[in-house]
Amino acid sequence: MTNSRRILKEVFGYSDFRPLQKDIISHIINGEDALVLMPTGGGKSMCFQIPALVMDGMCIVVSPLISLMKDQVGSLKACGVKAEFIHGSLDFSEQQNILNGALNGKIKLLYMSPERFIQSDIHDLIYNGNINLLAIDEAHCISVWGHDFRPEYASIGKIKKHKPDLPIIALTATADEITRDDILEKLYIKDKENIFLASFDRPNIHFSVEPGQQKFKRIKAFIEERPDSSGIIYCLSRKETERLANKLQGSGIDAQAFHAGMSFATKEKIQDDFISDRCQIICATIAFGMGIDKPNVRWVIHHNLPKNIENYFQEVGRAGRDGLDAEALLLYSYSDMLLWKKINQESTQKELLDAKLNRVFDYAEASICRRKILLNYFNESSESDCGNCDVCENPPHIFDGTLISQKALSALKRSRESVGGNVLIQVLRGSYNAEVMERGLHEIPTFGLGKEHSFYQWQHYLLQMIQLGLIEPKYKDRNNLKVCELGNQVLFKNKKVNLVTYEEKERKEVVKKQKRKPEKKTLFDLLRARRLQLANKEGIPAYMVFGDASLKDMETAMPITMDDLAHISGVGTVKLEKYGKDFIEVIQAYYKELKGKGDSFKHSCALFQEGKSLEEIAQIRNIKEVTVISHLAAGIQKGMKLQVQDLVSEVEKQIIADAFVRLDKPKAMKPVFEDLNMEYSYTKIRLALAFVLDEV
Ligand SMILES: [Zn+2]
């Protein structure tokens, strides 16, 4: 294991393995087979890359998509690993060169498609070359039960008959039990002990769901609250992607449409621009994302309801692969539901599809932690609420909706069940529009009985009534609504109905927060700019230089020597040598600026970051120590990441903050000091409160 750990640090720049990685790696190095189920972003590829580098010989990696191979090989090369990929678009001599290199031990990882793998020259390589491992990525493609079955994949396992000692590792992010068993069988992997099942939880992703009303306005506001962050918006149709991208462009937002109907070259260019941070937002059909491995997608919006939880989870999984905070927002509406039900109606698997769609609805309408529902879907139970979803943060308010439901049901009966949702709402709200008047619906007794609720509120309630089985859209009759048996019980027998309130989101607060954002560039911005420069010069995606997580680490630790920089996560030996000086230069310049002109507090903070003690800073600057402390506090309040844990610990911070809140946030420090029995110095209190005040 020491070798694996050394490679993890030296090559990839990480000090610790992620959960399960260590077990899988030593299992493989011991010559065993493995089936690995890990969510996207869980660190799957390290599970074969590290054994391949530790062991003598070369690893063959079978992967279904050229773009995925290109990304992985590019990332490996950037870390100084000898990796190549062989594919049909290379000419004969290029392919020969690579194969020769492989035979002569000049390559450690060789990527190829399943189609290429089954050709005879590769078989020769496997028999005559020094192959230490066969890795099969996206292994669900092996199974007809998996959602992307590829016939060539199914025959890969035959190699095991001829080379029984060659360890095989199969990896996937999506495989239910039936697919899992099928993969084991097709690859001749016998023991169930060879299955490694990682948690599917992605704790860094925040989940939220909102009724999809005024979608464009909502999406625009969402993007404006998150300037410069990469995101994907999933739409149902090609047309929708284009329409949305155009509208966003019209509002000055950097967005591109992407769908399967575009030419190969156009798609390639858009993907490249997105990966390299030259395009901020992609509006896509589900076709987008499978072949890309961009770690810093900060958010995913579903413009429409997805058809099942599997698809939804895979799509949101494209956010936050670097482990930093990310968001998933789902917008859903009445019309989405009608559309899916209609599509399902025409399928031979109607019942299965409807059942899956209902689970999506349960998720969208949830009144319990959304993460619990998702994990439960994948047979993983979670005891506590996650605290990182909209339900946990803001539990929905359930109320007695019997009267509201009765109004709708009665209006529907009086309209002879010959209206769809929109007309029904107009009747309930008492709108004298053409259709209502023409059909004489303004004369029925329930006309205008639901005036007190807005159009959107009614949409929200009707959707719930459908979900509860009170009413049902008749697809063969222009989606007109019909009262179900349960609806009759509510209307005539006063059966109680619970509904969830509809709250129109208040966005003012967020806008205010945005305005507080300093116009000045942060160190992170400066590091990002330098990264882009370096990446453009080499023609590689920015994340291949360093990930966002590494830049965030640099911003916090502010290393100014190569030794310090080597401790930053994601900084391996090759990258340190190649890029280290550039990044240190940026950090030093930032330092200088802090110390130079500018505010006095910045000067003190910069000295503190250099490792000077309070006493030393006071001496250098000829000020009192108490002034130095107030400078540090000011720095913290302005968002500087100062390492003050030696002066005040996390626990102490919490105790002081609690007292501050308990005392109703006094203006002076003395009440806090006294409340805590004078056990905490004014220095600790001053610094701890800087964090609290920062958050207010
Ligand atoms: Zn939750």
How many angstroms separate the CA atoms of 117 and 108, rounded?
17
How far from 615 is each of 341, 607, 626, 631, CA to CA, in Å?
71, 11, 10, 13
* Beta-carbon contacts of residue 443 (< 8 Å; ≥ 6 apart): none
The amino acid that residue 439 corresponds to is R
196 CA → ligand 1 middle, Å? 26
User: Do 7 and 56 fall within a single domain?
Assistant: yes
Could you tell me the distance, in angstroms and rounded to a whole number, from the CA of residue 46 to the centre of ligand 1? 29
116 and 152 Cβ atoms separated by less than 8 Å: no
Q: Please state which of the ranges 203-207, 294-298, 552-556 shows the lowest mean pLDDT.
A: 552-556
Model confidence at 561: pLDDT above 90? no
Q: Are 317 and 342 members of one domain?
A: yes
* Cβ proximity of 409 and 491 under 8 Å: yes
Is 444 part of any domain?
Answer: yes
Please give the distance, rounded to the nearest whole angstrom, from the Cα atom of residue 23 to the centre of ligand 1. Answer: 29
- Whether 347 has a pLDDT exceeding 80, the answer reads yes
Dihedral sign, Cα of residue 288, residue 290, residue 292, residue 293: positive
CA 639 to chain centre: 25
Cα–ligand 1 centroid distance for 374 (angstroms): 10
What stretch of H or E contains 123?
Answer: helix 120-128
Alpha-carbon distance values, 306 to 242, 314, 358 (Å):
19, 11, 11
Residue 102, pLDDT score: 93
pLDDT the model gives residue 163: 87
Find the angle CA(246)-CA(247)-CA(253) to the nearest 5 degrees.
90
Q: How close is the Cα of 82 to the center of ligand 1, in Å? A: 43
Output the CA 372–ligand 1 centroid distance in Å.
Answer: 7
User: Among 457, 469, 454, 451, which Cα is nearest to 411's?
Assistant: 451
**Residue 129 in contact with residue 58, Cβ under 8 Å?**
yes
DSSP 32: -
* Structure-token match 């870390």, residue found: 79
CA–centroid distance, residue 495 to ligand 1 (Å): 31
How many alpha carbons lie under 13 Å from residue 514 in its C-beta half-sphere? Answer: 12
Cα–Cα distance between 680 and 600 in angstroms, integer?
27
Is the predicted pLDDT of residue 58 greater than 70, yes or no? Answer: yes
Task: Report the separation in Å between the CA atom of 208 and the middle of ligand 1, taken as the mean of its atom positions.
Answer: 9
DSSP of 38-77, one letter per residue? --TTS-TTHHHHHHHHHSSSEEEEE-S-HHHHHHHHHHHH
pLDDT (0 to 100) of residue 516? 43
What are the DSSP calls for 298-333, one per residue?
A: EEEEESS--SSHHHHHHHHTTS-TTSS-EEEEEEE-
Coil, strand or helix: which one is 617?
Answer: helix
Distance between Cα 248 and ligand 1 center (Å): 31
The pLDDT, as a whole number, for residue 515 is 43
Regarding whether 419 and 286 lie in a shared domain, the answer is no
Same domain, 387 and 425: no
Are 495 and 488 within 8 A, CB to CB?
Answer: no
Same domain, 227 and 322: yes
Residue 509 inside a domain? The answer is no
Q: According to the 3-state scheme, what is the secondary structure of 576-589?
A: HHHHHHHHHHHHHH
**499 alpha carbon to ligand 1 midpoint, in Å?**
20
Same domain, 92 and 143: yes
Q: How far is the CA of 384 from the centre of ligand 1 (A)?
A: 9
- Burial (Cβ within 10 Å: 0-12, 13-18, ≥19) of residue 517: exposed
DSSP H or E segment with residue 233: strand 230-234
Q: Output the six-digit token pair for 504.
A: 């129109």
Q: Are 463 and 502 in contact (CB under 8 A)?
A: no
Residue 44 has pLDDT above 50, yes or no: yes
Residues 6+ apart with CB under 8 A from 489: 495
Whether residues 146 and 218 fall in one domain? no
Q: What is the rounded distance in angstroms from the CA atom of residue 453 to the CA atom of residue 436?
A: 18
Q: How does DSSP classify residue 397?
A: P
Q: Residue 466 is part of a domain; what is its CATH number?
A: 1.10.10.10
- Determine the distance separating the centroid of ligand 1 and the alpha carbon of 507, expressed in angstroms: 21
In a domain, 192, yes or no: yes
pLDDT-derived band at 634, boundaries 50, 70, 90:
confident
* The model's pTM: 0.72
Question: In Å, how far are 304, 417, 468 from 478, measured between CA atoms?
Answer: 21, 12, 21
Domain boundaries, position 683? 527-571+589-690
Q: With a cut of 90, say whether residue 330 has pLDDT above it.
A: yes
Examine residue 577 and state whether it is found in any structural domain, yes or no.
Answer: no
Structure tokens, 383: 């005891």
Contact by Cβ (8 Å): 467, 365: yes
Cα–Cα distance measured from residue 603 to residue 330, given in angstroms and rounded to the nearest whole number? 45
Output the CA 333–ligand 1 centroid distance in Å: 22
Tell me which residue has tokens 């621009």.
Answer: 273
pLDDT value at position 380?
78
Q: Is 283 helix (H, G, I), strand (E, B) or coil?
A: strand
What's the 646 CA to ligand 1 centre distance in angstroms? 33
Q: Cα(150) to centroid of ligand 1, in Å? A: 37
User: In angstroms, what is the span from residue 380 Cα to ligand 1's centroid?
Assistant: 15
Sign of CA dihedral 121, 126, 129, 134: positive
Residue 505 has pLDDT above 80, yes or no: no
3-state secondary structure 82-111: CEEEECCCCCHHHHHHHHHHHHCCCCCEEE
DSSP state of 257: E
Q: Tokens standing for 637? A: 């309040």
Say which residue, 18 or 331, is predicted with more confidence: 331
Residue 287: its pLDDT value, please?
Answer: 62
Percent of the chain predicted with pLDDT > 90: 40
Distance 195 CA to ligand 1 centre (A): 29
> Which has the minimum average pLDDT: 16-20, 28-32, 37-41, 262-266?
37-41
- The predicted-structure confidence for 213-236, as pLDDT tens digits, reads as follows 889 999 999 999 998 899 999 998
386 CA distance to ligand 1 middle (Å): 4
> What is the SS3 assignment for 196-221?
EECCCCCCCEEEEEEECCCHHHHHHH
Confidence of residue 508 (pLDDT cuts 50, 70, 90): very low
- CA of 38 from ligand 1 middle (Å) equals 21
Q: Please give the average per-residue pLDDT across 580-602, as a whole number.
A: 81
The Å distance, Cα 215 to ligand 1 centre, comes to 24
Instruction: Report whether pLDDT(575) > 90.
Output: yes
Look up tokens 């009445």; give the residue.
334
547 φ/ψ angles, rounded to the nearest 5 degrees: -75, 165
- Here the CATH number for the domain that contains residue 144 is 3.40.50.300
- A 10 A CB-CB count for 21 gives 23
Q: State in Å: Cα 633 to ligand 1 middle.
A: 33
Tokens representing residue 136 in the block: 């099969």
The CA-atom distances, in angstroms, between 17 and each of 9, 46, 174 are: 10, 9, 22
Q: How large is the average pLDDT for residues 479-502?
A: 91
> 381 CA distance to ligand 1 centroid (A)?
13
CA–centroid distance, residue 89 to ligand 1 (Å): 46
pLDDT for the residue numbered 694? 57
Tell me, in angstroms, the distance from the centre of ligand 1 to residue 557's CA: 31
The amino acid at 93:
S
CB 309 within 8 A of CB 374: yes
Q: State the pLDDT at residue 166.
A: 92
Query: Given this model, what pLDDT does residue 511 score?
Result: 43
Highest mean pLDDT among 108-117, 187-196, 453-462 belongs to 108-117
CA distance 498 to 414: 23
Q: Which residue in 289, 28, 332 sits closest to 173, CA to CA? A: 289
Q: What pLDDT band is residue 512 in, cutting at 50, 70 and 90?
A: very low
Domain boundary among 197, 227, 245: 197
What tens digit of pLDDT does each residue of 636-655 get? 887 777 888 889 988 899 99
- CA 145 – CA 186 distance, rounded (Å): 12
550 shares a domain with 472: no
What is the sign, positive or negative, of the torsion defined by CA atoms of 231, 281, 533, 588?
negative
Non-local (6+) Cβ contacts of 96 within 8 A are: none
Q: What's the 644 CA to ligand 1 centre distance in angstroms? A: 31
Please tell me which residue, 264 or 299, carries the higher pLDDT value.
299
518: in domain: no
Domain boundary among 360, 393, 426: 393
* 393 CA → ligand 1 middle, Å: 7
Q: Which of 299-308, 334-343, 398-407 comes out lowest in average pLDDT?
A: 334-343
The number of folded domains in the chain is 4
**Of the candidates 687, 649, 685, which has an alpha carbon nearest to the alpha carbon of residue 669?**
685
- pLDDT-derived band at 148 (thresholds 50, 70, 90) equals low
Ligand 1 mean position to 635 CA, how many Å? Answer: 33
Answer yes or no: is 627 within a domain.
Answer: yes
Quick one: 280 and 323 in the same domain? yes
State which of 340-349, 569-578, 607-616 shows the largest mean pLDDT: 569-578
Q: Are both 175 and 226 inside the same structural domain?
A: no
- CA–centroid distance, 396 to ligand 1, in Å, is 12
377 Cα: distance to centroid of ligand 1 (angstroms):
15
Q: What is the pLDDT of residue 426?
A: 93
Q: What is the CA(203)–ligand 1 centre distance, in A?
A: 10
Band of residue 513 on the pLDDT scale cut at 50, 70, 90: very low
Q: How far is the CA of 390 from the centre of ligand 1 (A)?
A: 7
Pairing between strand 480-483 and 205-211?
unpaired
Residue 210 has, within 13 A of its CA and on its CB side, a CA count of 18
* Residue 247, domain member (yes or no): yes
pLDDT of 507 higher than 80: no
Q: How confident is the model at residue 130 (pLDDT cuts 50, 70, 90)?
A: very high
Higher pLDDT: 517 or 643? It is: 643
- 91 belongs to a structural domain: yes
Residue 641: strand, helix, or coil = coil
Question: Percentage of residues in the chain with pLDDT exceeding 70?
Answer: 94
Is pLDDT above 90 for 107? Answer: yes
Question: If you measure from the C-alpha of residue 389 to the centroid of ligand 1, how many angstroms do you get, rounded to a whole number?
Answer: 4
The phi, psi pair for 515, rounded to 5°, reads -65, -25
State the average pLDDT for the chain: 87
**pLDDT tens, position by position, 158-200:** 888 888 889 999 998 876 777 788 888 888 888 778 999 888 8
Angle, CA of 312, 316 and 318, to the nearest 5°: 130
Are 432 and 325 members of one domain?
no
Measured distance CA(275)–CA(114) in Å, rounded? 25
- Centre of ligand 1 to C-alpha 513, Å, is 24
- Which one is predicted more confidently, 89 or 490? 490
- State how far Cα 497 lies from the chain centre: 36
| Lowest mean pLDDT, pick from 59-63, 367-371, 510-514, 569-573 | 510-514
Q: What is the mean pLDDT of residues 377-397?
A: 85
How far does the centroid of ligand 1 lie from the alpha carbon of residue 210, in Å? 15
**Do 267 and 370 belong to one domain?**
yes
pLDDT category of residue 622 using cuts at 50, 70 and 90: confident
Question: Would you state the pLDDT for residue 389?
Answer: 94
